[in-house]
């Protein structure tokens, strides 16, 4: 069996490794360099604290891979399991957190519900007077996406995966209603510009809708620009602090080295990006100032003397309900797209699911039946509250 994977980001490479481990002949087509899309600009967060069961399950199925990554892949991805601290500042959000903790524990995540005072045990900078409740999960944390990408890439090459960078897919080839290959151009294109395949995997990230349309499939996946900035706070952030999220605004921060912090958040007044090729990959200064000010509302690390060091912007591939599409959309065309900022952390489980859909006809690692694209027509949408 031969499978072409379109997209050389973390989801595409994880899928390639999972397929190659089961004896599949895999070709990856990446029009730029590996990780050029979303992976190289990801924040690297890994958490079980989601509000829907399928997202929790994807994390719990991925965590063993992240926790043993160096042992398996020979690459230290700097996975720092300092936890995630989720903050509620209204009674309504606190009630939602209580329900989420019950669901997360039922799925196998040992999340704790905290009082405002208890939250300061995990992050001394948090102002308890601004909170109504918080949650914490000790196995959450963050890793280096670029190093993880390299680990998967090395494993893919060792398993015989044919990785073709600088190779753009220009069309998806169909025989009737079945996908039978792709047309390509660029450095890795054969003389006739065609690659025959038994199946094609759409792992094209922000470009996923464009590729799906080539196969005659319409998916509501749009690129949204997200930013992050590294700062020297007014008060140094301890390196063992958790990644902390204010659920009211999506404002969040995590520790860097030597007291610095990475600050981010999506704010509703930020303009969206209509095309994935037309965006700035540097941060906007007004946004950065706003982000630091928002973090200062609930955490005293970030005062007037906070200094900006550097920043960046990347793209999320977003669906209307902030959940991915993972399915075989038409015969021979499997999609793993629209992760809405969660693709990095869910990539190990997603790779296994992609292999299962192609080779077994159904997923067994995680039940992804709720992640079909038909939910957008039926209106049976999922609702992820914790979208940061």
Question: Terminal CA-to-CA distance of the chain, rounded, Å?
Answer: 38
Same domain, 134 and 226: yes
Query: Can you give the pLDDT at residue 277?
Result: 65
Kindly state whether residue 52 falls inside one of the protein's structural domains.
no
Predicted pLDDT at 270: 52
Which CATH number does the domain housing residue 369 bear?
A: 3.50.50.60
Structure confidence at residue 387 (pLDDT): 72
76 inside domain? no
Indicate if 160 and 274 belong to the same structural domain.
Answer: no
Residues 307 and 325 in one domain: no
Do the domain assignments include residue 75?
A: no
The pLDDT assigned to 324 comes to 98
Which domain covers residue 169, as residue numbers?
2-45+146-221+321-378
> What is the domain-level CATH number for residue 281?
3.30.9.10
Determine the pLDDT at residue 267: 73
Same domain, 136 and 156: no
Task: Indicate whether 69 belongs to any domain.
Answer: no
Strands 162-165 and 25-30: parallel
Query: What pLDDT is recorded for position 341?
Result: 94
pLDDT at position 70 is 97
Sequence-separated (6 or more) residues with CB below 8 Å from residue 387: 250, 266, 322, 340, 341
Residues 314, 211 share a domain: no
Q: Which of 46, 45, 49 is nearest to 99 (CA)?
A: 49
In a domain, residue 73? The reply is: no
Q: Which of 318, 351, 369 is the last residue of a domain?
A: 318
Nearest Cα neighbor of 242 from 84, 384, 96, 108 is 84
Dihedrals phi, psi of 107, to nearest 5 degrees: -80, -15
On whether both 309 and 231 belong to a single domain, the answer is yes
Please state, in angstroms and as integers, the Cα–Cα distance from residue 228 to each residue in 44, 251, 273, 289, following that order: 12, 10, 16, 11
Tally the domains of the chain: 2
- Tokens 């989601």 locate to 50
Q: Are 227 and 217 within one domain?
A: no
**Residues 6+ away with beta carbon under 8 Å from 167:** 29, 30, 31, 184, 185, 186, 187, 188, 189
Contact 302, 234 (CB under 8 A): yes
With respect to residue 352, please indicate whether it lies within any of the assigned structural domains. yes
- Check residue 258 and give left, alpha or beta (phi > 0: left; psi -120 to 50: alpha): left
In tens digits, the chain (388 residues) has pLDDT values of 999 999 999 999 999 999 999 999 999 999 999 998 888 889 999 999 999 999 999 999 999 999 999 999 999 999 999 999 999 999 999 999 999 999 999 999 999 999 999 999 999 999 999 999 999 999 999 999 999 999 999 999 999 999 999 999 999 999 999 999 999 999 999 988 999 999 999 999 999 999 999 999 999 999 998 999 999 999 999 999 999 999 999 999 999 999 999 999 987 555 555 556 667 888 999 999 999 999 999 999 999 999 999 999 999 999 999 999 999 999 999 999 999 999 999 999 999 999 999 999 999 999 999 999 999 999 999 988 877 7
Q: Residue 89's closest CA among 130, 136, 135?
A: 130
- Do both 283 and 151 map to the same domain? no
- Residues contacting 142, CB < 8 A, separation 6+: 43, 44, 45, 46, 79, 80, 82, 243, 254
Token reading at 250: 């999506």
Identify whether the C-beta of residue 335 lies closer than 8 Å to the C-beta of residue 324. no
Determine, yes or no, domain membership for 20.
yes
339 and 364 share one domain? yes
């Amino acid at each position: 069996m031969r499978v072409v994977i379109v997209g050389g980001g973390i989801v595409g490479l994880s899928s390639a490794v999972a397929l190659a481990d089961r004896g599949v002949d895999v070709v990856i087509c990446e029009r730029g360099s590996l990780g050029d899309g979303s992976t190289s600009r990801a924040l690297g967060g890994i958490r079980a604290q989601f509000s829907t069961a399928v997202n929790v399950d994807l994390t719990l199925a991925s965590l063993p891979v992240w926790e043993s990554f160096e042992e398996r892949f020979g690459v230290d991805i700097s996975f720092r399991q300092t936890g995630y601290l989720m903050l509620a500042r209204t009674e309504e959000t606190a009630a939602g957190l209580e329900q989420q903790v019950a669901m997360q524990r039922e799925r196998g995540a040992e999340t704790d519900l905290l009082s405002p005072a208890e939250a300061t045990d995990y992050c001394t900078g948090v102002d308890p007077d601004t909170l109504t409740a918080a949650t914490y999960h000790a196995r959450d944390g963050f890793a280096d996406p670029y190093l993880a990408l390299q680990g998967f890439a090395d494993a893919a090459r060792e398993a015989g995966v044919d990785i073709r960078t600088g190779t753009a897919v220009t069309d998806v080839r169909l025989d009737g209603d079945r996908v039978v290959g792709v047309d390509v151009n660029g450095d890795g294109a054969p003389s006739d510009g065609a690659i025959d395949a038994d199946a094609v995997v759409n792992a094209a990230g922000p470009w996923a809708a464009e590729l799906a349309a080539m196969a005659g499939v319409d998916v509501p996946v749009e690129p949204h620009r997200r930013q992050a900035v590294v700062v020297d706070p007014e008060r140094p952030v301890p390196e063992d602090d958790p990644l902390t999220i204010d659920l009211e605004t999506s404002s969040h921060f995590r520790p860097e080295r030597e007291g610095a912090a990475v600050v981010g958040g999506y704010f509703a007044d930020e303009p969206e990006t209509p095309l994935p090729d037309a965006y700035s990959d540097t941060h906007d200064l007004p946004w950065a100032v706003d982000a630091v000010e928002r973090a200062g509302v609930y955490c005293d690390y970030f005062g007037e003397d906070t200094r900006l060091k550097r920043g960046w912007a990347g793209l999320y591939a977003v669906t209307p309900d902030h959940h991915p599409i993972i399915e075989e959309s038409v015969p021979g065309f499997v999609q793993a797209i629209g992760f809405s900022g969660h693709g990095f952390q869910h990539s190990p489980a997603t790779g296994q699911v992609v292999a299962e859909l192609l080779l077994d006809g159904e997923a067994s690692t995680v039940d992804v039946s709720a992640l079909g694209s038909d939910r957008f027509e039926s209106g049976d949408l999922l609702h992820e509250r914790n979208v940061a």
